[in-house]
Amino acid sequence: MSDTSLYRLNGRSIVAGKTAISGGAAFHGYQPADGSTLDPEYLSATTEDVESAVAEAVKAASALAQSSGKQRAAFLRSIADGIDAASAQLVERAHRETALPVPRLTGEVARTSNQMRLFASVLEEGSWVMARIDTADPARTPPKPDIRSMLRPLGPVVVFGASNFPLAFSVAGGDTASALAAGNPVIVKAHPAHPGTSELAGQVIVDAVRKSGFPGGTFSLLFDAGHEVGAALVKHPHVCAVGFTGSFRGGRALMDLAASRPTPIPVYAEMGSTNPVFVLPNALRERSDALAAGLHGSFTLGGGQFCTKPGLVFAPRSESTGFMERMRSLTGETPAFSLLTSGIAGAYQHEVNQRKKHLIASGKANSTGYSAQVTLYEVSGDQFLSEQELSDEVFGPTTLVVQCTNTAQMLEAARSLEGHLTATILGTEEDLQQNVELLRVLETKAGRLIFNGFPTGVEVCHAQVHGGPYPATSDGRSTSVGSQAIFRFTRPVAYQGLPESALLPELQSSNPEGILRMWNGAWTRTAAEKP
Amino acid sequence: MSDTSLYRLNGRSIVAGKTAISGGAAFHGYQPADGSTLDPEYLSATTEDVESAVAEAVKAASALAQSSGKQRAAFLRSIADGIDAASAQLVERAHRETALPVPRLTGEVARTSNQMRLFASVLEEGSWVMARIDTADPARTPPKPDIRSMLRPLGPVVVFGASNFPLAFSVAGGDTASALAAGNPVIVKAHPAHPGTSELAGQVIVDAVRKSGFPGGTFSLLFDAGHEVGAALVKHPHVCAVGFTGSFRGGRALMDLAASRPTPIPVYAEMGSTNPVFVLPNALRERSDALAAGLHGSFTLGGGQFCTKPGLVFAPRSESTGFMERMRSLTGETPAFSLLTSGIAGAYQHEVNQRKKHLIASGKANSTGYSAQVTLYEVSGDQFLSEQELSDEVFGPTTLVVQCTNTAQMLEAARSLEGHLTATILGTEEDLQQNVELLRVLETKAGRLIFNGFPTGVEVCHAQVHGGPYPATSDGRSTSVGSQAIFRFTRPVAYQGLPESALLPELQSSNPEGILRMWNGAWTRTAAEKP
């Protein structure tokens, strides 16, 4: 186990590698388990901090854009090693700031460093730049020019830390990893619910920036008790893109801010999803207890504070008696959870009260800290189809079962859905064959379709898509998890007629990196003589 | 030469394959050469036409999403053959509606059908879907699921025809080709400046839809004398994306409309660009006449009505005397052009008057139709850096030479630029080595960097990037020309744990299409046994 006091917390923003001396409005971290405050006091970043973080990021952007993939890979590996070395301190502080269990946080630290290493391996392999080369044909009429293109970085990226993943979707999380990997400087606006964890991760990155010889402006970490710093960053003319994970309201506000700029910029906001699950008849007949146990485990995991929590379950009423009995009894046995913040706990309580008339089971109570009882609701398919608000996400350990008259009504319900991160079908292969249209409809509603699995637990891999149509995200053309996330902070640039010496190695005819490229329309790793 | 009366013009919108019977406000095409009107009269689409085109597109979307790439390739080839067969009629009508020369329009017809065939070949090859497969590992803790992802269509796409490319960026143009290729239904809002050409191309596509057995809703063509139909389409809740080529004002209005929807959607708007050219000292010493001739040809090509027209030329004053002499004399000899519309001719006249004090040469005059004299302007580097409006695009046969004190001032000017479609350096290799920073700055300002070429003439190929940072386009992460344009109307979707029989062929382990896929992180065309 690593030392639990590797880093000292200063309670200040880090601007281009330097700890801010002063600051604005003060705030503290809180312990959700008992509501007590945590030291040190944190000071909000000032207008000058914002200006200086962006100005230094602009300077760093040019150096990063000229760095090689291998240099950036070494930098990401240095961050990963730093996170692992600080693991004990990160877990201890994150546990106090979030009340998430230590094993979950230990896993999240490993996920965070492994994400960095995944992007490092993508950079080392090098083909991700999608190099395309069309060679010249001077004999053609008109002469055909030599054109080569590859993906290039966008420039300074602002990342908002998420409350529910204090590590893997926060300061050193997926958006930071993918933005740095693609060669963009990053300015993180820390989530105020876990400032200490944020500062620790920030110090790890600052150390790695120094060791790797990148400019200080490669990374900044700004604190804020309110929303001013985030808004100022998103409106700043030199900021080029935004990554955000949080509430629908927060995400939409950033989207609107970015779209109304004189120069609009892309916002990748992961906002909210109820992750509908469709349980089909044959599966219910064969294994209703196992399905109920799986779903219960999934909707209560981490106190139901996952963006992929299954918050809507559609089942055919005639086959679901045993399934519902088991769901009720599992819910009744479940202990209460400490939620992440008093705000989340309060919103949960409010929404639970709104749905009171549909309550069919609740878990054990606990009155300390930001506590929440597990709740299970049930409505009919007709009710669901007529009451829009039943589709809304309720963040926390709760789910709503929709008892449908038959699979035709389940299909109707599927058609009525908005965009989600995931959609799940639990069924036999026969069920699937009998409900092909359901699969096709769900494909248009989600970023990831799951068959006989549960949506929580998002594998970090090459094929992963953690995204989905609005309002699940601001931009369903992208993923925030997995190696494809590197594409979000890039744009293609073409080079026409440039001499070999002025081209980046990825586009030189001799293919010094040995990467996969499209050469006159065919994918190949071949090194070519001068074309 | 094909028959010039293959199709009969009806003057009505085509809604999901059916010619509309009635319509709203009437309008005509005009002949820019003499300002006379052209038959038939066109009627604007009605609210019902919009509703019905979108409703049929939604129905078609599902069939298109399930069609194979090879089926869509055959469909695109059928459109291409239809365009070639109607070539004579298309050229004749387009010549009357635009006054663009017959050879240019004949070339544009070929480009339009070749674009369709390029996308057909991309579909036939199949690897464009970026299939990624990560196989399961049930022995891992926790068990690793099987996840597979590929690019899927977005749904109904609205395309706005451009005035300056009545064929290649219009009804059957690049956006329509890439959207259909990716499996999206398309609704085109025809540009009112060439309604007859639009209707002809629309009838070609309708024929191909029928022959290919795709649903009628795969394609609709709507006319409008004003902006209501376009706005209604962009605001329609079932429209999923927009492609546009036109003015900055029009593009930004669509961006704002799309961003303010309850469900925002992507807008790919190509809006405006002055395509800066930097002429370096050694090149001026070696070949100033050739550079002047090339630039003159490029800025007057098609009456200067190309989005890639070089509208800003930066040169070091000390080396540019001969170059400027040649530019002036070439300009003086150039005949007048007929511009595309009375609006464009009027705007050109207005902007030319605004710049009057900087005029150093003008071409021959002509008073018939929407005529425009070629104009050449000159300012100092200091003037350019202090007068923002000198960077503005002036659509038509004009360019502005900025006489800089030295290459350092040229670099300063480069840094001051906004986003452009292209940026060009004319120089020797020595010039380039001495101005590496200029190249790096320009890379951040443009979608395509050109060395010793001219920006007009956009090669349709795999490596092409016809895009660039705002305000050149709404979204610099994309190209509207070349095979990479297929990505703009797609999103990745992941499938977790699906049985092979429920997967599209591109994701089946046996790789029946033999496409290039990322299999557990490595690109391969190998067919795998069941994983």
> Which CATH number fits the domain that encloses residue B165?
3.40.605.10
What is the C-alpha to C-alpha distance for residues A192 and A44, in angstroms, rounded to an integer? 10
- The partner residue sitting opposite B134, judged by closest CB among A155, A266, A463, is A463
User: Cis ω on the peptide bond leading into residue A471 (within 30° of 0)?
Assistant: yes
Q: Mean of the pLDDT values across residues B317-344?
A: 97
- So what's the pLDDT on residue A306? 94
pLDDT in tens, A202-261: 999 999 999 999 999 999 999 999 999 999 999 999 999 999 999 999 999 999 999 999
Backbone angles phi, psi at A402, to 5 degrees: -105, 110
A470–chain B Cβ distance below 8 A for any pair: yes
Q: Mean of the pLDDT values across residues B58-86?
A: 98
- So what's the pLDDT on residue B531? 53
Tell me, yes or no, whether B57 and B195 share the same domain.
Answer: yes
What is the C-alpha to C-alpha distance for residues B196 and B221, in angstroms, rounded to an integer? 12
Residue A1 binned pLDDT confidence (cut-offs 50, 70, 90)? very low
In the predicted model, is pLDDT for residue A3 greater than 70? no
Task: For residue A372, give the CATH number of its domain.
Answer: 3.40.309.10
* Residues contacting A60, CB < 8 A, separation 6+: A16, A185, A214, A215, A216, A217, A218
The CA distance from A423 to the nearest CA of chain B, in Å, is 10
**CB within 8 Å: B145 and A453:** yes
pLDDT in tens, A15-32: 999 999 999 999 999 999
- B 400-419: CB under 8 A from A: 418
Residue A471 binned pLDDT confidence (cut-offs 50, 70, 90)? very high
Picking from A508, A458, A505, the residue whose alpha carbon sits closest to that of residue A114 is A458
pLDDT in tens, B350-360: 999 999 999 99
Would residue B187 be called left, alpha or beta, if left means φ above 0 and alpha means ψ between -120 and 50 degrees?
Answer: beta
Lowest mean pLDDT among B281-285, B368-372, B416-420: B368-372
Tell me, yes or no, whether A292 and A254 share the same domain.
Answer: no
Strand B490-496 to strand A446-451: parallel, antiparallel, or no bridges (unpaired)?
parallel
Across chain B, mean pLDDT equals 96
Residue B1 binned pLDDT confidence (cut-offs 50, 70, 90)? very low
Q: Note whether residue A495 is domain-resident.
A: no
A464–chain B Cβ distance below 8 A for any pair: yes
**CB within 8 Å: A523 and B493:** no
Q: Note whether residue B459 is domain-resident.
A: no
Torsion angle of C-alpha atoms B116, B119, B120, B126, degrees rounded to 10: -170
- So what's the pLDDT on residue B488? 97
What is the C-alpha to C-alpha distance for residues A262 and A251, in angstroms, rounded to an integer? 19
What is the C-alpha to C-alpha distance for residues A312 and A464, in angstroms, rounded to an integer? 22
Across chain A, mean pLDDT equals 96
Higher pLDDT, B253 or A1: B253
* Residues contacting B65, CB < 8 A, separation 6+: A440, A443, A444, B152, B153, B183
Burial class (CB in 10 A: 0-12, 13-18, 19+), B404: buried
User: Cis ω on the peptide bond leading into residue B40 (within 30° of 0)?
Assistant: yes
| Minimum CA–CA partner of A422 in chain B | B494
Q: Note whether residue B468 is domain-resident.
A: no
Count the alpha carbons within 13 Å of B85 in the hemisphere toward its beta carbon: 13
Query: Percentage of chain B surpassing pLDDT 70?
Result: 99
Number of domain units in chain B: 2
**CB within 8 Å: A502 and B462:** no
* Residues contacting B370, CB < 8 A, separation 6+: B32, B35, B99, B338, B339, B340, B341, B342, B344, B345
In the predicted model, is pLDDT for residue A531 greater than 80? no
**What is the strand order of the sheet B267-270 is part of?**
B18-19, B14-15, B219-222, B186-189, B157-160, B241-245, B267-270
- So what's the pLDDT on residue B529? 60
Q: Which domain holds residue B333?
A: 277-451
In the predicted model, is pLDDT for residue A530 greater than 60? no
Burial class (CB in 10 A: 0-12, 13-18, 19+), B149: buried
Which two structure tokens, joined as six digits, stand for B48?
């019902």
Beta-bridged to residue B238, according to DSSP, are none
Q: Note whether residue A472 is domain-resident.
A: no
Tell me, yes or no, whether A285 and A423 share the same domain.
Answer: yes
* Residues contacting B249, CB < 8 A, separation 6+: none
- So what's the pLDDT on residue A77? 98
- The partner residue sitting opposite A470, judged by closest CB among B264, B433, B464, is B264
Q: Which helix (H) or strand (E) holds A330?
A: helix A321-333
- So what's the pLDDT on residue B272? 87
pLDDT in tens, B272-323: 899 999 999 999 999 999 999 999 999 999 999 999 999 999 999 999 999 9
pLDDT in tens, A391-413: 999 999 999 999 999 999 999 99
Residue A272 binned pLDDT confidence (cut-offs 50, 70, 90)? confident
Tell me, yes or no, whether A289 and A253 share the same domain.
Answer: no
pLDDT in tens, A415-430: 999 999 999 999 999 9
Contact between residue B167 and residue B105 where contact means Cβ atoms under 8 Å apart: yes
**CB within 8 Å: B493 and A447:** yes
A390–chain B Cβ distance below 8 A for any pair: no
* Residues contacting B353, CB < 8 A, separation 6+: none
- So what's the pLDDT on residue B530? 55
Tell me, yes or no, whether A341 and A200 share the same domain.
Answer: no
In the predicted model, is pLDDT for residue B2 greater than 80? no
Q: Mean of the pLDDT values across residues A116-131?
A: 98
Contact between residue A363 and residue A294 where contact means Cβ atoms under 8 Å apart: no
**CB within 8 Å: A475 and B127:** no
What is the C-alpha to C-alpha distance for residues B369 and A211, in angstroms, rounded to an integer? 68
Tell me, yes or no, whether A260 and A334 share the same domain.
Answer: no
Contact between residue A275 and residue A311 where contact means Cβ atoms under 8 Å apart: yes
**CB within 8 Å: B492 and A447:** yes
Picking from A396, A300, A400, A272, the residue whose alpha carbon sits closest to that of residue A346 is A396
Residue tagged 């019902």 (tokens): B48
* Residues contacting B453, CB < 8 A, separation 6+: A145, A496, A497, B424
- So what's the pLDDT on residue B393? 94
Tell me, yes or no, whether A202 and A254 share the same domain.
Answer: yes
Distance of CA B452 to the CA centre of its chain: 23
Q: Which residues of A touch B524 (CB under 8 A)?
A: none
**CB within 8 Å: B463 and A132:** yes
Tell me, yes or no, whether A244 and A187 share the same domain.
Answer: yes
Tell me, yes or no, whether B293 and B400 share the same domain.
Answer: yes
What is the C-alpha to C-alpha distance for residues B523 and A333, in angstroms, rounded to an integer? 48
Tell me, yes or no, whether B366 and B439 share the same domain.
Answer: yes
- A 24-63: CB under 8 A from B: 61-62
Tell me, yes or no, whether B38 and B161 share the same domain.
Answer: yes
- The partner residue sitting opposite B459, judged by closest CB among A145, A429, A502, is A145
Q: Note whether residue A529 is domain-resident.
A: no
- The partner residue sitting opposite B476, judged by closest CB among A121, A453, A491, is A491
Q: Mean of the pLDDT values across residues B170-190?
A: 98
In the predicted model, is pLDDT for residue A151 greater than 70? yes
Tell me, yes or no, whether B420 and B297 share the same domain.
Answer: yes
Q: Note whether residue A505 is domain-resident.
A: no
Q: Note whether residue B474 is domain-resident.
A: no
- So what's the pLDDT on residue A528? 77
Q: Which of A431, A451, A471 is the last residue of a domain?
A: A451
The CA distance from A440 to the nearest CA of chain B, in Å, is 8
Q: Note whether residue B503 is domain-resident.
A: no
